[in-house]
Structures are given as C-alpha cells and as structure tokens.
Structure 1
Amino acid sequence: MKKNLPGMDAGEMAAPKFKTFHGERTISDAHWTAEEVVEATKGTWLAAPPAGWSASGLCIHASTMRHGHLAVLRPPGDAGRGIPLHTLVGLKPPPAAVIAAQIPDQGLPDLPVLQVRDTDEAILGMGRHARDQMTSTVLAVTGSAGKTTTVAMLAHVLSIWEDTPSSSHSANLPHGVAWNLASMPRQTRFVVLELAIGRMGQSSRLARPHLSLVTNILPAHLGENSTLKDIALTKSAIFSGMAPGGVAVLNRDMLEWETVHSAAVARNQKVVHYGTTRESAFQLLEYDTADQRALASIAGKKIEYRMAAAGKHMALNGLAVLAAVSALGLPIEPAVKQLECFSPLPGRGEEFEIVLAGRRVAVIDDAYNANPGSMAAALENLASRITQGRKIAVLGEMAELGPGAPKYHSDLALLVKRLDIDRFYCIGKLYEDFFHALPSHRQGYLTTSLDDLRMKLTSGVSCGDTLLFKGSHSTEMHKLVASLKQDANRTRDETGETPVRCRQI
C-alpha cells in the first residue's frame, strides 16, 4: 500500500477549508496567541494585549497588511525589513500588535507592543514556530525560471482538494519564507512555497518540504567565476531541509541533471522526473500552439491536457504539476481539468489588449524577469502565435550573467533567425551586437533610455500588432508595461472607453 505523506488521508477529504492568506480571514483562522509570539520571538510584552487576543499572521511590508496581522517596526536608520514608523502609525487596518527592537520616544499609542532583541531574528523565529505547528504537506519549488508560475499553478490545481496557501509577493529568501509561513493557516492540507537560490539551505531548513520541485537550471545569478554547476549545487540545497523518504520532482531535460539528481539521491529522496525526453517518467510528447493542447505519456498512458496559459514552457510547467500531484497520491484526471483554467500571472505571461496612440494592440507581459532560457521560451512563444498584425519583441537586458553576458545577448541573433518575429525594440548596450546582426526590416529601435523606448514604440505600432515585453527586473521593463496600462486606464476614465481588456484564451 502507498504510504501517504503528512496531511494526506486515505479516504475522502473532510478537513475544514481555510481561506488562503492572500484573501480575508475569518476569526477561526487566527492562530497566534500572546504566549506563542513570546515563545517564537523570545521577546517581552511592554504593552500586553487584552485577554483572548490573537493574531492571524505577520506583516513586514505595508502593502501586505491584512486584518489581524502583527506588524514589524523597522529600526530607525535601517533600510532593511519592517515598516517605517511614519507608515506604521497610519496603517489601515491597524496591526494587531507591533514587534519592535527599538521603541520610539513618542511610543505606539493604543497598540500592544512586543520588544525583541533583533527584529530579523524575530521574523525567522516566527517562521520556524509556525512550521513546527503545521500539519500540512509542504511543497517547495525552485529553479532558474518558471518557479513563481509553477507555485501558483500547483496551488491552483491542489485547490480542487482544499484551498491551498502559497508564497506571496515572490518572497522567496529566508525572511520572506519565514514571513509566509507565519502568515499561513497551520492545518490546511497543502502549502506551496517558492525558494530562491539565495541562502537556499537556510530557506529549506525553514520550510522542511515533503516534496521539492526543480523546474530547471539556467544561466542566471552568475558571478565572475561561478559556473552552471555552482548554480545547480546551490539550488540542490533545497533537499537539505527534507527528511529521508521525501519526493524530488525534477526536470529530466534540465542542464546539470546529474548534479541535481545526485544531490536528491544523496538525501534519500524518491525522484520523479518529467520532460520531453524518452527517459522522462512524465513525458511531453506534443504541444499544439494553435489550440494550446499538450499530449503527454504518464505511466505508459497517453493523456491530453489543454493549457489556458500559452507556450510550450507553460505546458512543461503543467506537466511538472501533474507529476507532483501523482507523487502526492492524488488522481490525475481532475488536475488535468483544473489546468485548463489557470491564468498566467502579471509579468509572467499575462495577456491583455491595450490602446497605444489610438491603436489597439495585444500584449504578452513577461516583463518581470529574464535569463537566456526564459528569454528563448518567451520568443518562441511569440513566434508561434497566429496574429492579426505584426509580432514585436520589446526586450530589456538579461542581468547577472557574469563575464559571458555580451555573448548570451548576441547569441539571440542565431535563435531569432529561425523565428517568425517581425521587429525588435531593445534597451541596453548588451544588445548592440544582436540588434546590428538583424536585417534592417526587423530592426525596430535600440536605445539605453526607457522613456526613449516608450516614445518610439508608441509611435511605431499598428492596429492588431502583438507585443512581447521581456527583460530582467533591474531593467524596469515591468514599469514600462505598468505605465502603458496606467495611461490606457486614464484614457478610459477620460473617454469612457475600455482600452485595457484581459484576453480570453
């Protein structure tokens, strides 16, 4: 008989549902008592909360404030984690209590206050305590690309069985992982966390996942002397927080497969692999770009699934989710149906229509981040589209590629030579060789100014064009997309028209 992971029942799922921490909580979701907060943080109540007090989570950034959350006060003169005093006193809703290392002279009127030696350590302590109390099956996702989308897709699919909380705001470094853990229900059946390469071992020991999923290893976060194997070894530290007998879901196609696979086996994890090669236990056989249907072989059986999110890379993400679902002992069929209604996230493949200078165009917003692998996937996705007008790629530089950065950019010329993309608008000096290697009819514009790029793009598009936006976060391509949306919404307010419309796929 298959052994169930923690949080898995052999029979029907009768456990009560919890709302995810992204939304409003009910009073029954509250799980921090005054005594627990002291135990987790080693702090002291200077202004004790009233009898029966409880809190439902933690807030370390004002934009994430929810009713019932404790707020961490940022120390004066510190640019680190926590909320500045002038922002904290105006929070709506007000926090359930304040955690602070230094108490301001004017005090914090009408709020319970817990003093701690170090707020950073207090955040980590609350994360550890929350994880200790969890009865959930914890899933963790990492990879050089696609991890945030895969986290969202996993939570979306697992919500068939019970509403599933997942990492918020891509908070994937140790303090972000701790914040997420401290703000999640403790008895929900599943929890899905995103873990980044930075201090991976610490994050994994906080999360202590039962199942870890590695989407890929790609050139990203490369330093002067680091290699892909270094990246793979660092990401493989995700297994360091796992007890023997857990599950590692790995992309069989990924670079440095042997490195990651060996690390999982060394930690006595059961390996489940997916990909396009015949060695893959979950093999993607075909992907039809026209109707976004994928055909996969799973345990010798052919299964067809349709992705609302476009692109072969999304179909692979979907296959990774199906592999994880199967590893959890859950049926594949309802998960396949649930994939059909997963919508891409903003900055990670979201599609919408917008009016630029009176011309309606389609936008593929993949502007949150980029590396050579995700850039290639995005360009291939654009090229595969059947569009009304031209296909235009608007590209920002790919950051953190080490000494090979110029070549990674110039090598894109070889890729796009075979792709059906009409024009390229690029920002950054690293694109100079790439841009000048293009035939003149495919050269849109090359600049180092975001404002200049916006002006040329706005004047250069035609009705029916499809625009892909892609670039590393540091290039601020995401801000360009946001400003275009904002201008379109302003036009709507002034004219009554609706120039921004989500695209139905």
Structure 2
Amino acid sequence: MKKIKLTLNDFFNLPDAEIFNPDKFKDILSVSIDSRKIGKNCLFIAIKGERFDGHDFIKEVVKKKVSAVMINKNQLKRFSDLEIPIISVKDTTKSLGDVASVWRDKLNAKVIGITGSAGKTTTKEIIAAILSVRYRVHKTTGNNNNHIGVPLTLLNAKAKHQVLVVEQGTNHFGEIKYTALISRPDLALITNIGYSHIEFLKDRNGVLKEKSELLKIAVKNGGVAFINNDDDLLKKFGRKLKSKITFGFNDFSDYKAKLLDVDKSGRTTILISYGKKKFQARLPISGEQNAKNFLAAFAIAKELGLTDKQVLKGLKRIKSVSKRLEIKKFKDTVIINDSYNANPDSMKASLSLLSKIKPSYKKIAVLGDMFELGKHSKKLHSEIGWFINELKLNEVYTVGKFSENIFKSLNGRVPVKKHFSEKKNLIDSLRKSDLKKSVVLIKGSRGMKMEEIYSALEEKLK
C-alpha cells in the first residue's frame, strides 16, 4: 500500500508559506511537533506553547536527521544557517491545521467527528471498538481533541486506515468550527447538549451554537448528522438538516431503544428497534449513560454496514475508559472511579448509577467542584444536592469551594454528610472510614484531581 506523502507543491500551496532550500526537499512521510518523536522523512513543526517553544528544539531535531522544519517568520534570522528545507509561515499553530487539512484530503477513509457535553470520549471508544471488527480504525488518543490535538490525530492516520474516529472538544466559541473545517467529517455526532463550559458558552443555547458547527459542516460537505432525539435542543436543531439519522429512547427515531433491565453491577440490557429489525444485548459497561452512548455507536455502526453479529463481536472489545465510570472491585468494596471530569449532566448520571449498583451495599458519594460554570455555578451545584436528596444515599462528602453548595443543599434524607475545604483532610477521613460492603463514587472536574482520592482508597483497600 502506498504511503501518504506531502510534496513540495503541497507546501507551496499553503497560505503564507515561504520555502527555503527547496532543492533539498524530500517528500514528507510524517509530521511531528514533538522533538522526541522524529520519524523517517519527517517534518518538524515548531509550535510555541505555554511551557515550551518548539523553536528552541530546532537544533536538536536537525541532529536527528529531520527532513524539514516549519517555523514562524519572525524566527528566520535565528535559523539562517540551516541547510535543510525551512518552511516559514506567519503562525505555525495555524499552519499545523493547514498541513493536517492537506493530509486529510489524501486519506481514503471515512471520518467520524464526535463532540458533546458528556460521553464523547466513551462514545468514541465504543465506536472504535465496534468498527474495528470490520475496518482498520484510527482514533483520537488521550485528550487530543483541541486545535492542536485534532490536526495531530489526522496527521497520525496512515493510508491503511479505513475509518477515523475523531473527538472534537471546545470551551470557547469558534473552536469546533475551526477543527471541523480541518477534519471535515463524513459522519458527525453530538452526544448531548448540557451545561459544560457555560462560563464561556453562556448557556445551553450557546453550547448548541458552538457544537452544532460539527453537524453543519458535515452535512454541507455531503456527510450525515446523527441526532440524539432525547435532547430537546438537538431534536429541534435536527429538523433543519436534510441529511440526518436519529436515535433515542423517548421519541420516535430511526434507532429507538429501551432498557430491559439493570443488573447489580449497573450493566444494562438494551433492546434497539430499527426498521423492521431488533437488536438486543447485555452491555459490558455500566450505567444508563453508557447505554445512551452505545445507542449512538450502534446507529453509526449500522450506517457503516456492520451486521448485528459484528456488533456483538465488537461488544467484547469494549472496555471502560480510565477514570470514566471505571468500576473497581476490592473484596467487599466497589469504587466507581469517575474522576476524570465533571459537569452537571455527567454528575447526575454517575450519581444515578451509584444509587442502583449493588442494592444491599452502603452508598457513598465523594464529590468535588464542577468548573467552568461561571455565574451559574452556585445554582447548578445546589441542584446536584437536591438531586441527591431523592436518591437515598448513605453518605456524601464534598470538597472544594463550589461543591459546598452541594453540601448545603442536602437535607435529612442523607444520614451522613460533611464538607471539606482541603482534599488532604477528606482523604484522611476516608482512610479511617469503614468501607466494608460499600459502593464509593469519586467524581469532580479535572482541575480537582479527584484521582488522588481514588489512589488513597486503592492503597487502603489492597
């Protein structure tokens, strides 16, 4: 199979690009912004970040036999003695996206773009696992879902790949449009519209305005949008789109699902009706939210031609994503490690799972702040407390400035509750607690580093 390559002509066509030493140019087979990862026929793009400036590593990559470098124009004098091809541009971060866009044009693969307020990473993993039964799949790794990560995801795809599953995140207006114009998805999915990042996106309508760019760009380029009919804003927005596939639990949809049961570990049995057919399966991951994530993945898998048998085979490849509703069992204690991030919608989904798993066990919620909620923070944290009051949890512990509003909203239905201003004090208290026959949920925003609490409990329970 032929390799994807970037030619000299590709770079001459880049906006603002000026090429020095073009006579020494060799076709580019790989692109890197990391000086530690220089492959064969590699272009190194010097990105200036918050902590490091890639221009400071140019001499290092030259020693590693890099084929060419891309630098900002204002750095030209600094590297005038280089004898390898230099591609000078106004802004290397912007040009990284331009290069990725050219690379995307050379790929012979279906691109699936995914965004949403909650569940996008897990849904990406489910889609990739199922599709891998039939296709050679490349997917976003880690949290590479921003203006740097999306281009890198595309640039790491090879000619052999048949499907790309690209996660696209945002917390400011314009970010989804920027990355979607680079990825140009053939299939686009928004998992839901919630209250994430509303400090910058104002409200749910602002979230919809930002994230819907993914659907609009996909449809404009001849692709198809996947619409969650259970989300009021997405359902309404979907009516405007000509090319769409709908899915949901509550309304008539192209893919209509219902939950048949939930076992003691929180795993669901789902029944999906589509056309005149039905599909039923016990899901290997816990929580009703993951059933919703699976439904979206199922719709995409079917539209890409997978049989029910292939989907069932793919189910066996699905694994919990680290720190996202990750269930860990220790003798007679269960921990739900959902410490990666939190927003009001995902918080409620995780608390619901806590209330349903292991019915005879004590239920303990350990909750940290939810960030980027702006002026809505107090109200949305308080609503979590009111939500907990209806769940019959045994113990609730909160930590952080904002989560005190969760604590203050708890009533007498929660027998044991305490707020901590310092995480260290909370950890010390939990180390002394009796966690036998208990299910413990740990959840908070990324900046709270709630995984430190999980590590302390893991050490205690080993």
Secondary structure of 2:189's aligned partner = strand
Does the CA-based 8 Å contact 2:44-2:61 persist in structure 1? no
Structure 1 equivalent of residue 227 of structure 2: 250
Q: Deviations over 1:54-90 (max 9, x none)?
A: 433433596xx47455443344xx5278647369949
Q: How far apart are 1:98 and its partner, in Å?
A: 4.1
Q: Deviations over 1:412-443 (max 9, x none)?
A: 23322232432112112333343242438643
Secondary structure of 1:99's aligned partner = strand
Q: How far apart are 1:149 and its partner, in Å?
A: 1.1
Of stretches 157-166 and 443-452 in structure 1, the one that deviates more from structure 2 is: 443-452
Residue of 324, 330, 339 corresponding to 2:315: 339
What is the one-letter code of the residue matched to 1:100? Answer: I
1:395 aligns with 2:394: no
Q: Deviations over 1:294-334 (max 9, x none)?
A: 22222243321122111111111111111111222332331
Q: Deviations over 1:448-492 (max 9, x none)?
A: 2222222222222524533222112222224544x548x84xx9x
Q: How far apart are 1:379 and its partner, in Å?
A: 0.8
Does the CA-based 8 Å contact 1:44-1:116 persist in structure 2? yes
Unpaired runs of at least 5, structure 2: none
Structure 1 length normalisation: TM-score? 0.78
Alignment of 1:184-199 (within 5 A): 184-197=157-170, 198=172, 199=175
Q: How far apart are 1:276 and its partner, in Å?
A: 1.0
Structure 1 equivalent of residue 46 of structure 2: 73
Q: How far apart are 1:207 and its partner, in Å?
A: 1.2
Does the CA-based 8 Å contact 1:307-1:340 persist in structure 2? no
Of stretches 295-304 and 188-197 in structure 1, the one that deviates more from structure 2 is: 295-304
Secondary structure of 2:232's aligned partner = coil
Residue of 348, 351, 357 corresponding to 1:379: 351
Does the CA-based 8 Å contact 2:381-2:406 persist in structure 1? yes
What is the one-letter code of the residue matched to 2:154? Answer: L
In structure 2, C-alpha distance between the alignment counterparts of 1:235 and 1:212, rounded to whole Å = 11
Structure 2 equivalent of residue 477 of structure 1: 450
Q: How far apart are 1:144 and its partner, in Å?
A: 0.7
1:218 aligns with 2:190: no
CA change 1:323–1:90 in 2 (3 A) is: same
CA change 1:365–1:110 in 2 (3 A) is: farther
Q: How far apart are 1:43 and its partner, in Å?
A: 4.8
Structure 2 equivalent of residue 429 of structure 1: 401
Residue of 236, 242, 250 corresponding to 2:212: 236
Secondary structure of 1:446's aligned partner = strand
Structure 2 equivalent of residue 21 of structure 1: none
Structure 1 equivalent of residue 116 of structure 2: 143
In structure 2, C-alpha distance between the alignment counterparts of 1:118 and 1:304, rounded to whole Å = 51
Does the CA-based 8 Å contact 2:45-2:69 persist in structure 1? yes
In structure 2, C-alpha distance between the alignment counterparts of 1:480 and 1:61, rounded to whole Å = 34
Structure 2 equivalent of residue 171 of structure 1: 144
What is the alpha-carbon root mean square deviation over aligned residues? 3.6
Q: How far apart are 1:401 and its partner, in Å?
A: 2.2
Residue of 250, 259, 266 corresponding to 1:286: 259
In structure 2, C-alpha distance between the alignment counterparts of 1:424 and 1:321, rounded to whole Å = 34
Q: How far apart are 1:262 and its partner, in Å?
A: 3.5
Does the CA-based 8 Å contact 2:342-2:446 persist in structure 1? yes
Of stretches 106-115 and 472-481 in structure 1, the one that deviates more from structure 2 is: 106-115
In structure 2, C-alpha distance between the alignment counterparts of 1:384 and 1:92, rounded to whole Å = 58
Secondary structure of 1:174's aligned partner = coil
Structure 2 equivalent of residue 274 of structure 1: 247
In structure 2, C-alpha distance between the alignment counterparts of 1:92 and 1:466, rounded to whole Å = 54
In structure 2, C-alpha distance between the alignment counterparts of 1:474 and 1:89, rounded to whole Å = 33
Q: How far apart are 1:390 and its partner, in Å?
A: 2.9
1:58 aligns with 2:32: yes
Does the CA-based 8 Å contact 2:4-2:107 persist in structure 1? no
Structure 2 equivalent of residue 413 of structure 1: 385
Does the CA-based 8 Å contact 2:230-2:248 persist in structure 1? yes
In structure 1, C-alpha distance between the alignment counterparts of 2:59 and 2:342, rounded to whole Å = 34
Residue of 56, 65, 76 corresponding to 1:85: 56
1:203 aligns with 2:175: no
CA change 1:103–1:479 in 2 (3 A) is: farther
1:453 aligns with 2:453: no
Q: How far apart are 1:106 and its partner, in Å?
A: 8.8
Identity %: 24
What is the one-letter code of the residue matched to 1:204? Answer: A
Q: Deviations over 1:160-219 (max 9, x none)?
A: 112211122222223322222122114521111112244222221111111111111111
Residue of 75, 91, 99 corresponding to 2:70: 99
In structure 1, C-alpha distance between the alignment counterparts of 2:12 and 2:35, rounded to whole Å = 21
Does the CA-based 8 Å contact 1:34-1:49 persist in structure 2? no
Unpaired runs of at least 5, structure 1: 1-15, 17-27, 492-497, 500-505
In structure 1, C-alpha distance between the alignment counterparts of 2:260 and 2:387, rounded to whole Å = 20
In structure 2, C-alpha distance between the alignment counterparts of 1:299 and 1:307, rounded to whole Å = 22
What is the one-letter code of the residue matched to 1:55? Answer: L
Q: How far apart are 1:253 and its partner, in Å?
A: 0.5
Structure 2 equivalent of residue 7 of structure 1: none
In structure 1, C-alpha distance between the alignment counterparts of 2:292 and 2:258, rounded to whole Å = 11
What is the one-letter code of the residue matched to 1:404? Answer: H
Number of matched residues?
Answer: 451
